[in-house]
Amino acid sequence: MDEANSRKPRLLAGGNPQIPKGSGHTPVRAYIEAMPGWKRAVGHRLNELITEAVPNLKKSVKWNSPLYGIEDQGWFLGIHCFTKYVKVAFFRGAALCPLPPGKSKQQDVRYLDIHEDHPFDEAQFTDWVKQASRLPGKSM
């Protein structure tokens, strides 16, 4: 491994890992491994739940965030680290039932913020992932 590849990823504002753009499992795995502290375990669990819930899943890192989507349908979900929480963005979340709790300035987007001391409902999350994967997403 050369020196450039052996460096730890830089953490941007809020502790969000700076990972080079890339498609597939490898850059997403690199992002998750670079998530600081308790957020890493959350990232692993989210990735596991999403991967189990959606067959034929496409993964990528763009804009310093892992994105999950379906080929020819677009991206339906993204993850981003902030100082005190991990934000899951459902790009067509306004069409999910029940609505994810976090509102957005964008009409279609809804968020789920996961905090260290507040476990998230994995069954509800998985249901939202399945619903979101069946909707048209953001362009790939």
Domain boundaries 11-133, corresponding CATH code: 3.90.1150.200
CA angle 1, 34, 45 (to 5 degrees): 120
Q: What is the pLDDT of residues 53-84, one digit of tens each?
A: 998 999 999 999 999 999 999 999 999 999 99
Query: pTM (2 decimals)?
Result: 0.91
Cα distance between residue 105 and residue 126, in whole Å: 24
**Contact by Cβ (8 Å): 90, 96:** yes
**pLDDT confidence of residue 67:** 98
Q: What is the pLDDT of residues 14-37, one digit of tens each?
A: 888 999 999 999 999 999 999 999
Strand partners, 130: none
Kindly list the domain boundaries of the chain, sorted by start residue: 11-133
Q: Strand, coil or helix: what is 46?
A: helix
Q: What is the pLDDT of residues 78-137, one digit of tens each?
A: 999 999 999 999 999 999 999 999 999 999 999 999 999 999 999 999 999 999 999 998
